[in-house]
């Protein structure tokens, strides 16, 4: 239920944010629009807002935090969550090619870089930008898309993944109350995963849990790499307006 509400928030927000693009249903399936330079960051901001409501409904502890603490907790893991969402959904909708999904309703492919950069600032060296984007996409995102495809996460596993991404030890200097809150919620998530696997009849699931936690570590590294990539883009006069 809660994940459906998050999906609706993102879909409606992105459609409203890009009125010039056409979104429609064809036999119940959304027709995706191309991601462009100008809609990538606003669509990420819509996801961030949706996650605030999503985690408020999922975790009592999260709802008890101040608004500022709620935002900071998501912000500390947002690159990880955003990249994971991109890869998880692109595997679901485009399992057989290198298409990615930086937004809920938008797609990105290295074959369409001209279209992606068509509305970037006039001062950007597009040839240089294309070379950097191609390198970073192949090195980080496409390798990890293959990882997601191998694992084929269920929706329950993916939601648990988001919860573990939220409740991680972001800072060794966190106060005792926050440390206890993180440990309590991680323990709850792991317990629910155990119950989920048992309900599905998967009694020997230690390896699967290991795969999920390994994926989380990999995505933490990807998020760190992407943060460094953003610094390079800014030096190229990209995304500074955001």
**pLDDT at 26 exceeding the cut of 70:** no
Q: What is the percentage of the chain residues whose pLDDT exceeds 90?
A: 75
Q: What is the percentage of the chain residues whose pLDDT exceeds 70?
A: 91
User: Cα(93)–Cα(73) distance, rounded to whole angstroms?
Assistant: 29
Cα angle vertex 37, ends 35, 76, to 5°? 90
- In this prediction, residue 173 carries a pLDDT of 53
Beta strands in the chain (DSSP E): 25-26, 29-30, 33-34, 106-107
Residue of 137, 121, 162 lying closest to 226 (CA atoms):
137
Mean pLDDT over 109-118 rounds to 94
pLDDT band at 187 (very low <50, low <70, confident <90, very high): very high
- In this prediction, residue 1 carries a pLDDT of 53
Mean pLDDT over 185-193 rounds to 95
- In this prediction, residue 28 carries a pLDDT of 52
For the chain, give the mean pLDDT. Answer: 89
Could you tell me the two tokens for 18? 């890009």
Look at 95 and 173; give whichever has higher pLDDT: 95
**pLDDT at 27 exceeding the cut of 60:** no
**pLDDT at 25 exceeding the cut of 50:** no
33-54 pLDDT, tens digit per residue, is 899 999 999 999 999 999 999 9
- In this prediction, residue 29 carries a pLDDT of 60
């Amino acid at each position: 239920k809660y994940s459906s509400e998050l999906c609706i928030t993102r879909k409606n927000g992105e459609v409203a944010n890009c009125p010039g693009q056409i979104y429609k249903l064809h036999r119940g399936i959304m027709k995706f629009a191309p991601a462009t330079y100008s809609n990538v960051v606003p669509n990420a901001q819509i996801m961030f807002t949706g996650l605030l409501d999503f985690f408020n409904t999922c975790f009592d502890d999260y709802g008890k935090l101040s608004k500022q603490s709620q935002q900071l907790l998501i912000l500390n893991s947002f690159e990880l969550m955003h990249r994971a969402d991109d890869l998880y959904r692109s595997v679901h909708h485009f399992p057989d090619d290198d298409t990615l999904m930086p937004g809920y309703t938008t797609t990105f492919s290295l074959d369409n870089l001209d279209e992606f950069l068509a509305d970037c600032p006039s001062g950007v060296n597009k040839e240089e930008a294309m070379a950097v984007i191609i390198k970073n996409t192949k090195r980080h995102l496409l390798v990890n898309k293959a990882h997601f495809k191998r694992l084929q996460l269920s929706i329950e596993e993916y939601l648990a993944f988001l919860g573990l991404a939220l409740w991680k030890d972001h800072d060794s200097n966190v106060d005792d109350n926050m440390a206890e809150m993180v440990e309590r919620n991680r323990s709850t998530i792991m317990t629910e995963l155990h119950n989920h696997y048992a309900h599905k009849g998967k009694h020997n699931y230690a390896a699967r849990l290991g795969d999920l936690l390994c994926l989380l570590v990999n995505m933490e590294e990807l998020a760190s790499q992407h943060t460094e990539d953003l610094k390079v883009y800014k030096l190229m006069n990209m995304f500074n307006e955001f």
